[in-house]
Each structure stands twice: as structure tokens, then as C-alpha cells.
DNA sequence: GCCCAGGTGAAGC
DNA sequence: GCTTCACATGGG
């Protein structure tokens, strides 16, 4: 029997858990990951840690670009660059914004806020859970849901990663019961989430197909779900399917439009909807996210 | 205690 | 069409 080799081959291999993404324009990770479009990112000593699909990943600024570290080796990175939308010509997006005082103020406040391209199911489910909840609470509910129903993801023996869970699949949630979902503190939203999971799991709602549909059709399909109205549908269109003209009108964005564009006037909702639909150009959804971020963070 | 939160559906006019 | 209200829970 030969013994163990005296000299072990040196592992000279690239680090397939690390990727550096060079960028040509601003990318503010905190504003992007922590401002109410995705709900599973948290800041650790190593950087912004979260889960994309079945990948645990940690992101941090690296010069002008982003450094990504995954918990486990990966063979390709398209899932990450797609999620982060790092190939987008961001300066072109900024050029399409209306040149008015509110947009200038929002851009002066934050220049690197981006829109993510999220998984449609996770996005839909998360925003079903979002109604009349503060962002911190949405995060808590989503984390609880993942802990209870998501597939476990192991952590490597390196700093920055802890064991975590994937976002639960529609099939898994479809066979949950309402009481179990309510134990994740989602309250009256439980039957809505359950109905959505069952509709997707049964193939009645084909989320993959919606991305190839005209936006108005996709919106109408989503709004057939109980608990999904115009705002949640628009969030899914914008954050998951990348329909860039979708303009979610929530309490904050309405507040921003009223205060910044029509100060001191009583403007009804119908007029504001019309303004939102016509004023902001081909990347209106992007502009919306800037107004949302600005009005939430700047005290008047 | 009170008000509000990345809303929606149902009931009332 | 528009307005009002309940819904479940927790942060500030």
C-alpha cells in the first residue's frame, strides 16, 4: 500500500467564489439593496450579505466596482450580474430623467441608486407581504418565512456567511396552511400569499410567461390575485420583469409628488396618476425609485 | 395609548 | 366613478 504522497499538489486555481465587477458609473449598494425593493440583505463586517436564488453572496464596494463573494464555488456569474443589472448603461438612464428641481434634488442626494432584477416569485410574494408594513417589518416577515419554509443553505467555514435559507418555492408554500403562515407574523396577508402560491404551483399563473407579455397584460394577470392591486403589481413589473415605465404609487411616492411637484395645492389621486404616467419618461420607474428614496430620507 | 406603515377589497354613496 | 373602513402586527 503506498502511503500518502509526501508532497501534495499545490492548489493553484482561481478563486471561483470571488468575482470583481468593474463599473463605469455609480452603484450605491446600500441605497440599492437596503431601500425597499429587496428584503433579504443585511450589512455585516464583510459587506452586504444576502441570498439570490440558492446562492449566499456577500457584496462590497471595490474601487469603482463591486466585489462579490459566494459561500460556495460557482461556475458562472450571470445570475449575479443579471440581478444587479451591472451591464445597464446607467448614465443613459439618468439622462432621460426630467430636468426639474425635484429630480435634481433627488439626484444630489443619491446618485448610485439602481433597480435590481429580482426573481418574479420572490418579488411577488414579498410585496404581497408588504402592504401597510414598514420596510423593517417586511424584512422580519420575509426572514421568518424563509426560516420556516425555505430550503436550508449551508455556510462555508469562512467569515461573513451564516447558514441561511432560500426563498420558499411556490410549491412549498402552496401546501402550507394559513395558521403556519400566520406564525410568521404576516397577519391578514396569509391567505393572499397562500392563494398566490397555489395559483403559481398549479400552473394557473405562469410567472415566466408574464415577462414576455405586454406590460398591461402582465399587470392585469397579477391583479387577478387577491391582495394584489395596482401598487403591488407595478412593483413586480418594475423590480422583477424590468418594465421600466412601471411607476408604483405608494404613500411615499404620492407624498413626494405632492410635496415636490405640487406644494400647497390639493391634488387628487387621479391627477397625480396622470402626472406620474406622463412626466418621467422611458425610465419612469427608475425616477420613481429616486423620489421614493429621497422623500424617505430627507427631512423637510 | 396613539399614529402610521412601499395596500387592498368590500361596502356605501 | 370616488370615499371610507377593516384588516394584523409592530416600530417609533
Mean pLDDT in residue range A261-283: 94
Looking at residue A208, what is its pLDDT?
A: 98
Looking at residue A14, what is its pLDDT?
A: 58
Mean pLDDT in residue range A88-101: 98
Tell if A299 CB is < 7 Å from nucleic strand C. Answer: no
Give the pLDDT band (50/70/90) at residue A300. Answer: low
Tell if A137 CB is < 7 Å from nucleic strand C. Answer: yes
Task: Let me know: does A111 contact A28? Beta carbons within 8 Å.
Answer: yes
Q: Which of residues 249-288 of A touch strand C (CB under 7 A)?
A: 268-270
Residue A87, Cβ density class (10 Å: 0-12 exposed, 13-18 middle, ≥19 buried)? exposed
Mean pLDDT in residue range A57-79: 96
Tell me the nt nearest to A140, Cα to C1'. Answer: C10
Looking at residue A203, what is its pLDDT?
A: 98
Q: Which of A130, A99, A152, A73 is nearest to A279 (CA)?
A: A99
Task: Let me know: does A29 contact A61? Beta carbons within 8 Å.
Answer: yes
Tell if A132 CB is < 7 Å from nucleic strand C. Answer: yes
Task: Let me know: does A172 contact A188? Beta carbons within 8 Å.
Answer: no
Looking at residue A275, what is its pLDDT?
A: 96
Which residues have CB atoms below 7 Å from chain B, the nucleic strand?
A 35-37, 127, 130-138, 188, 223, 225-233, 235, 248-253, 288-289, 292, 296
Residues A128-155 have pLDDT tens digits of 999 999 999 999 999 999 999 999 999 9
Beta partners for residue A21, in sequence order: A66
Residue A97 C-beta-side C-alpha neighbours within 13 Å: 21
Task: Let me know: does A116 contact A239? Beta carbons within 8 Å.
Answer: yes
Q: What CA–CA distance (Å, rounded) separates A41 from A142?
A: 11
Amino acid at each position: 500500500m503506498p502511503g500518502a504522497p509526501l508532497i501534495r499538489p499545490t492548489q493553484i486555481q482561481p478563486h471561483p467564489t470571488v468575482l470583481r465587477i468593474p463599473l463605469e458609473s455609480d452603484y450605491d449598494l446600500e441605497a440599492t439593496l437596503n431601500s425597499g425593493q429587496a428584503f433579504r440583505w443585511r450589512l455585516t463586517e464583510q459587506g452586504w450579505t444576502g441570498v439570490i436564488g440558492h446562492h449566499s453572496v456577500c457584496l462590497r464596494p471595490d474601487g469603482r466596482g463591486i466585489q462579490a463573494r459566494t459561500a460556495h464555488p460557482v461556475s458562472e456569474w450571470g445570475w449575479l450580474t443579471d440581478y444587479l443589472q451591472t451591464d445597464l448603461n446607467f448614465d443613459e438612464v439618468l439622462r432621460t430623467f426630467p430636468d426639474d428641481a425635484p429630480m435634481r434634488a433627488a439626484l444630489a442626494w443619491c446618485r448610485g441608486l439602481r433597480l435590481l432584477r429580482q426573481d418574479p416569485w420572490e418579488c411577488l410574494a414579498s410585496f404581497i407581504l408588504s402592504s401597510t408594513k414598514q420596510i423593517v417589518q417586511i424584512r422580519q416577515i420575509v426572514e421568518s418565512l424563509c426560516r420556516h419554509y425555505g430550503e436550508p443553505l449551508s455556510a462555508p467555514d469562512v467569515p461573513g456567511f451564516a447558514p441561511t435559507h432560500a426563498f420558499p418555492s411556490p410549491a412549498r408554500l402552496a401546501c402550507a396552511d394559513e395558521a403556519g403562515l400566520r406564525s410568521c407574523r404576516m397577519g391578514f396577508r396569509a391567505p393572499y400569499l397562500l392563494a398566490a402560491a397555489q395559483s403559481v404551483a398549479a400552473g394557473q399563473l405562469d410567472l415566466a410567461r408574464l415577462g414576455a407579455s405586454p406590460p398591461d397584460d402582465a399587470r392585469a394577470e397579477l391583479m387577478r390575485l387577491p391582495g394584489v392591486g395596482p401598487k403591488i403589481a407595478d412593483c413586480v413589473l418594475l423590480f422583477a420583469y424590468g418594465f421600466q415605465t412601471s411607476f408604483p404609487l405608494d404613500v411615499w411616492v404620492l407624498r413626494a409628488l405632492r410635496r415636490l411637484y405640487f406644494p400647497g395645492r390639493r391634488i387628487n389621486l387621479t391627477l397625480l396618476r396622470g402626472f406620474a404616467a406622463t412626466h418621467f419618461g422611458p425610465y419612469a420607474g427608475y425616477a420613481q425609485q429616486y423620489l421614493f428614496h429621497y422623500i424617505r430620507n430627507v427631512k423637510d
